[in-house]
Amino acid sequence: MKLFHGSNLEITEPRLIEQTRGLDFGAGAEWLDFVTENRLKTYSGEIYDVIIGAVANDTVMPTIQAWLGGFLTEEATLMTLKVSKLVDQVCLKTDKALSMLCFIRSYNGGKGGARNG
């Protein structure tokens, strides 16, 4: 699998950093619970090396906040999110996952983009 990192910086040696934003992954009702627990920083489930799935970005957060506030049922929330454009993301959570990466090259994406390496 090829993994692309969108940034204005060239990352030749990725490293784990402390998560400061509650970004979330998965699908369906399990995804909604995972998102909620990550946003509230109460997730205590399994620890994964890699998580791949939809991120709860600023586009979908109002819907999730409406669910958290009791304004939407779980079913209505999931139906609303199904018509939203969800963006997938790959999150490497452990050194084991990072050890599987091999930097190949970078591309200059335009103004301020990374250099071709």
How many residues comprise the chain? 117
- Residue for token digits 């799935």? 53
Give the list of residues 6+ apart from residue 76 with CB closer than 8 angstroms, or none: 67
Assigned domain for 89 exists: yes
Q: Is residue 114 part of a domain?
A: no
Q: Is residue 116 part of a domain?
A: no
Mean pLDDT score across all residues of the chain? 75
Question: Shortest CA distance to 84 belongs to which of 106, 97, 67, 101?
Answer: 67
48/14: higher pLDDT: 48
- Is 32 part of any domain? yes
Give this prediction's pTM. Answer: 0.56
The answer to whether position 110 is within a domain reads no
Residue 90 pLDDT more than 50?
A: yes
Q: Which domain holds residue 17?
A: 1-105
7 within domain boundaries: yes
For residue 7, give both structure tokens: 């940034």
* Residue position matching structure tokens 């402390």: 18
- For 12-27, the pLDDT digits (tens) are 777 766 655 444 444 4
Q: How many domains does the chain have?
A: 1
Report if residue 72 sits inside a domain. Answer: yes
Q: How confident is the model at residue 73 (pLDDT cuts 50, 70, 90)?
A: very high
- Does position 112 have pLDDT exceeding 60, yes or no? no
Q: Is residue 94 in some structural domain?
A: yes
